Amino acid sequence: MAKEHSQVPKLIFKTQASIAKDALVLIFDLEGFSRFFSQPDVHEYVTKYLNRVFAAVSISIFGGKGFWSKNDMPPFLAPTHVKFLGDGALYIWSFNRGEKEKKKQSILYFINRLWHIKDDFGKLVDSCSEDVPVVGLPRKIRFGIASGSVHKIYYKYSARTEYIGYCINLASRLQGYCRDLGFIASARIDLRERDLTNHGYIKVVAKKLDGFPREVVIVDKDEFEDLPSKLSKELFDPV
């Protein structure tokens, strides 16, 4: 028994983390995935569904023609770190000093792509019907995006690495904050006001975000205005 235990990777980190780097963080979640996965024999189909979802997100990152787009899209940036989260995924892009400032326009177009995936996600689910012949496929995807400093930490007994940072926690909170909104980004991604307006976004204050009091966030203007009045007043304030 002791021999078997010795082969299990140890979750022990080296004592020194990397220096801080500026980063863009994306976390997405598939609403209803646990319920979908609880069905009999779903293991035979779950990877086919996940592969369709990850292919769409990958196209938004690496370029190509997505189900929501008529034309091929140029690549964004290759992520520094990717991690499967069971019912979604974490993506991190880290930047050297001053590098992120030069990528603002690219970041704006990237979040547009994510919004379109969210808005047209039903098309992706419908395209799975032949390969995934079960009911209850998750029909909603939610994106949370944040920016800030991250540190890389290193496992002591393997070459694997992880990232820690305020903005990772923030992106996680944002994707689950308001289930009627499929896309919420922290205003810390620091995009120009006129660009946000031209692309249909507005800023509001998320006033009940766990651990992040009164966070200024970016949402789609039309989607936000379609929220029930009671819900929007409960969760958001004007900037």
Q: Is residue 10 part of a domain?
A: no
Instruction: Give the list of residues 6+ apart from residue 200 with CB closer than 8 angstroms, or none.
Output: 220, 221, 222
Q: Is residue 3 part of a domain?
A: no
- CB count in 10 Å sphere of residue 123: 13
Q: How confident is the model at residue 60 (pLDDT cuts 50, 70, 90)?
A: very high
Among the listed residues 213, 209, 211, the one whose alpha carbon sits nearest the alpha carbon of residue 176: 209
Average pLDDT, the chain: 91
Tens-digit pLDDT profile for residues 88-134: 999 999 988 778 888 889 999 999 999 999 999 999 998 887 788 87
Q: Is residue 153 part of a domain?
A: yes
What's the pLDDT score for residue 41? Answer: 77
Q: Is residue 2 part of a domain?
A: no
CA–CA gap between residue 48 and residue 184 (Å, rounded):
27
Q: How confident is the model at residue 7 (pLDDT cuts 50, 70, 90)?
A: low
Residue 132 burial by CB count (10 A; 0-12/13-18/19+): exposed, middle or buried? buried
- CATH number at 190 reads 3.30.70.1230
Q: Is residue 132 part of a domain?
A: yes
- Here the tokens at position 4 are 């078997």
Q: Is residue 50 part of a domain?
A: yes
Which residues span the domain enclosing 45?
20-238
Q: Is residue 215 part of a domain?
A: yes
**Per the structure, how many domains does the chain have?**
1
Tens-digit pLDDT profile for residues 136-164: 888 899 999 999 999 999 998 888 899 99
Reduce the DSSP state of residue 184 to 3 states and report it: strand
CA–CA gap between residue 22 and residue 93 (Å, rounded):
8
The percent of residues above 90 in pLDDT, for the chain, comes to 67
Q: Is residue 137 part of a domain?
A: yes
Tens-digit pLDDT profile for residues 66-97: 888 888 999 999 999 999 998 899 999 998 87
CA–CA gap between residue 222 and residue 151 (Å, rounded):
36
